[in-house]
Chains A and B, each alone.
Chain A
Amino acid sequence: MKNEWPLWEVFIRSQHGLAHRHVGSLHAPDAAMAINNARDVYTRRNEGTSIWVVKAVDITASDPDDKQALFDPAQSKVYRHPTFFPMPDEVKGL
């Protein structure tokens, strides 16, 4: 069959309250079949309470070559973390 089924990325929410996490991908002719297949391929051991499927072609990803430009600037901004500010031991509730 040269009419290859599209690739879907599969996201599973493992427990109520947690975010959906990417677990892998699979091929399926449409979204309903993708959910069916994802249930068999990725949730055989109670891994999930909810499944999202997204066509892989619909995902836009950052370019690995842009890694420095995108992520390096955050490295110098240590004051964004609470641990940057030493607090007096005597003061509580901070």
Chain B
Amino acid sequence: MYAQMVDTGSPDNQALDAREARFQQRIDDGIRIEPQDWMPERYRKTLIRQISQHAHSEIVGQLPEGNWITRAPSLKRKAILLAKVQDEAGHGLYLYSAAETLGISRDQMVDDLHTGKAKYSSIFNYPTLTWADVGAIGWLVDGSAIMNQIPLCRCSYGPYARAMIRVCKEEAFHMRQGYDLMLALCRGTPAQKAMAQDALNRWWWPSLMMFGPPDGDSVHSAQSQAWKIKLFTNDELRQKMVDQTVPQAEYLGLTIPDADLKWNAERGHYDYGAIDWDEFYAVVKGNGPCNRERLDTRRQAWDDGAWFREALVAHADKQAQREHARAA
């Protein structure tokens, strides 16, 4: 997902102390944890990792689509894409704020992203080769993000849950504009439809990988579920995504690039083929098609903006000094 394989730390060997038991009881009772409340250090650290990774994904997630803003085929599509990418910047900001309530500074998080210490979602390390990729991302990637984020609106940590409510409202627009774009291409010329099919072919498997490793290999899942900061397992969400998307692809007249995909009446779900987890781990470790380019672009943007940030601070300082002089 936007936060993948989040480490929950190693559990203490001794039984939970009384305070931690009370904390767990609150969560079990569905009472939200707020920033000033006592919380176990592992809960705090895990959430910092999860929320900041999620924030970084929103920020880096602007880049693949940003690539097409100046080349959108019409003014209408350009305005829509600009608004969508701007929303992603907003999502990053809501989430950084939520993470800061846990005691990490914004500068620290930005630093961790730029030095490569912090991760962001594997999905944003794939290239956007054609205009249809913008549609495929909205439909599949934002669609998958919604699937993961709607349950997080009920997660145990108040600021995270509230940020997710805002994000989810906006994601619905992202998914629809993507599907709308795919619809337009699929109703267009054969070449346009072929472009849409090609985008689906390239984004399908990375979108399924986005939900993270299979449940059997997902070591930290149980603790995160007990803390209610993860409400469904990776495989549950992945299955939901497949079940939802197959009919949507059929409507477009596109073929999902999976020979093993078929309806399983007994399970009431679609069966799907094996995922190439070697590819997933290669991307997570920094060897996807665009990992280096994404980080370089981020760092460059940060460095290029330095003079402007410094000027704003200089102006603010000067105003404050004037104010001070006038008051004295």
In the complex, B94 has a CB within 8 A of chain A: yes
Q: Known contacts A4-B107, A61-B36; is A29 also within 8 Å of B100 by CB?
A: no
In the complex, A20 has a CB within 8 A of chain B: no
Q: Known contacts A5-B313, A29-B313, A33-B316; is A64 also within 8 Å of B34 by CB?
A: yes
Most buried by B among A2, A29, A45, A64: A29
A1-B305 Cα distance, complex, nearest whole Å: 11
A-B Cβ contacts below 8 A, count:
50
Whether the Cβ atoms of B107 and A25 lie closer than 8 Å is no
| Nearest CB of chain B from residue A83's CB, rounded to whole Å | 26
Contact with A along B137-163 (1 / 0, CB 8 A): 000000000000000000000000011
A2-B106 Cα distance, complex, nearest whole Å: 10
Q: Known contacts A27-B106, A33-B312; is A44 also within 8 Å of B87 by CB?
A: yes
In the complex, B219 has a CB within 8 A of chain A: no
Contact with A along B251-292 (1 / 0, CB 8 A): 000000000000000000000000000000000000000000
| Nearest CB of chain B from residue A27's CB, rounded to whole Å | 6
Across-interface contacts of A63 in B (CB, < 8 A)? 36
| Nearest CB of chain B from residue A32's CB, rounded to whole Å | 9
In the complex, B306 has a CB within 8 A of chain A: yes
Whether the Cβ atoms of A30 and B90 lie closer than 8 Å is no
| Nearest CB of chain B from residue A3's CB, rounded to whole Å | 6
Whether the Cβ atoms of B316 and A30 lie closer than 8 Å is yes
Contact with A along B73-116 (1 / 0, CB 8 A): 00000000001001100100110010010000111000000000
Whether the Cβ atoms of A26 and B107 lie closer than 8 Å is no
Across-interface contacts of B316 in A (CB, < 8 A)? 29-30, 33
In the complex, A41 has a CB within 8 A of chain B: yes
A45-B170 Cα distance, complex, nearest whole Å: 9
A45-B84 Cα distance, complex, nearest whole Å: 12
Whether the Cβ atoms of A24 and B107 lie closer than 8 Å is no
A4-B310 Cα distance, complex, nearest whole Å: 11
The 5 closest A-B pairs by CB, nearest first: A30-B316, A29-B316, A29-B312, A25-B97, A64-B36
Query: Given A24-B97, A64-B36, 10 other A-B contacts at CB below 8 A?
Result: A4-B105, A5-B106, A7-B100, A25-B100, A29-B309, A29-B312, A29-B316, A30-B312, A40-B86, A45-B170
Task: Give me the interface of B with A, judged by CB distance under 8 Å.
Answer: 34, 36-37, 83, 86-87, 90, 93-94, 97, 100, 105-107, 162-163, 166, 170, 306, 309-310, 312-313, 315-316, 319-320
A/B interface sample: 14 pairs, CB < 8 A:
A2-B107, A5-B313, A24-B94, A24-B166, A25-B97, A25-B100, A26-B97, A29-B309, A29-B313, A30-B316, A33-B312, A33-B316, A40-B90, A41-B94
